[in-house]
Structure 1
Amino acid sequence: MKNISLTYGNNGEGHKALSDVNLSIGNGEFTSLIGPSGCGKSTIIDVVSGLRLPSEGSVFIDGARVKGPGTDRGTVFQDYSLFPWMTTFENICFAIEHAKNAGERKEIEKTAQKFLELVGLGKFKDAYPGTLSGGMKQRASIARMFSMDPKVFLMDEPFGALDSLNRIYMQDLLLHLWSEGEQRKTVLFVTHDIDEALLLSDRVAIMTPSPGRIKEIIKVPFPRPRLRKDLSIDPNYLTLKSHLLSILYGETVEETKKQENELKRFV
């Protein structure tokens, strides 16, 4: 991402969501975005996915400028985004067919079944999304993303709506799938959860309040595979978590003061 700015509204007049965002992500790297609510994290996912064009700046993937949606990016949204009139199996087959633009039907179905089994939904292949729990829907969304085999994974708070046990399961599942195979995928992951970011990521990019900018990028020093029980008692982990919290807290306090000053003008 090079000098990305985005303003909602006509003719560039309105709410400025992003301002001069610059971020480079290496091939196979897992990078998380964290920041206060409304700072533009989801907007960045929209811009990188090609669903929304920036007002200024450009996104490049392997040197090619992003001009719209493409099959080189797979996205998991907060709301699962499964077609309700298709079964779980049909949703994944549809994604594979349109991502690869070719292939024998038997191969497509074989790939779909493989990823359903990997995420533990083999027995629910004929179930419709409306009959699945939130965790199962998100597993289906992740299976769909992996089955498309894109270069880049974009994930917008995919586990935010899940209970704590399902969240842990989904984090472990994501790490397992991401670590498998000859080459890891490049991941841009949005989260509010600092523990989640430190568990999953190679680097964490911290954003400022709106208009969102990248304030600081922190390399996560802990080797993989990472075990929760080891991280939770590692003093270096606690120090890094405290540092991230202090940055976020400082930004939140500063933004609150600005809002209070704005309110005083009208009192």
Structure 2
Amino acid sequence: MQFTGTKTYVAPEDLTVAVNAAITLERPLLVKGEPGTGKTELARQVAESLGLPMLEWHIKSTTRAQQGLYEYDAVSRLRDSQLGDDRVNDVANYIKRGKLWEAFDAPERVVLLIDEIDKADIEFPNDLLQELDKMEFFVYETGETVKARQRPIVIITSNNEKELPDAFLRRCFFHYIRFPDMETMKQIVEVHHPGIKEALLTTALTQFYTVREQQGLKKKPSTSEVLDWLKLLLAEDLDPADLKMDPKSALPKLHGALLKNEQDVHLFERLAFMARRG
């Protein structure tokens, strides 16, 4: 079972090595990188490449680790007991399975995505240590132990919003997705916009990387944003000559697809003003 990328996902060699190493070691793959570099999409492409079902657990600031295992609805059981409902005799009727339980109980091996784990409370990763390590957990209400039929391929993403505990990191295989260089980006663009003219692509990407490398930028544009920008350029049927930056602002055409806050727009306007003064 080897991941080699797919027709719609350009996976650099170091990334495919990391995925396959995690599968071999039977460890969760912890993937970090800038937002928009394809971390979440990686899990979907691994599932597609290996022909496996996929489960997605998207983490929010309010998500608790217990929700990934199961939740017991005591309120509904109390209400049903007051109404004389026979369902109260079986506590299992009030157990809601979480994504880990679904992955453990699946009839075949699955890919489990735990997306943006750094959004949750700092204790969240530690609360999952034993379950991800031993691939089992105990259900106190029913007295049963849930064990994984087959060990799922676990892919965990993080945007580095907060540090993860050392004990959790020791149990993961780690990979940082570097931002693509120009040549890799051209391959990615070809997947999404096949047949784009080389001159237009080179001019556009040169401007894109110039914007990304500008000192003082609050939010650097990502891969997903340059794909959106190129889609707009193609829709407007622009050619390389049309992409000249406005000398008054030093901003590229349709810059709203690349720059997502007013501070960064004002930064380029100030730079253009200083250049004119100089």
TM-score between the two structures when normalised by the length of structure 1: 0.42
Structure with the larger RCO, 1 or 2 (CA within 8 Å, 6+ apart): 1
Identify, as 1 or 2, the structure richer in strand: 1
Higher helix share: 2
TM-score normalised by L of structure 2: 0.40
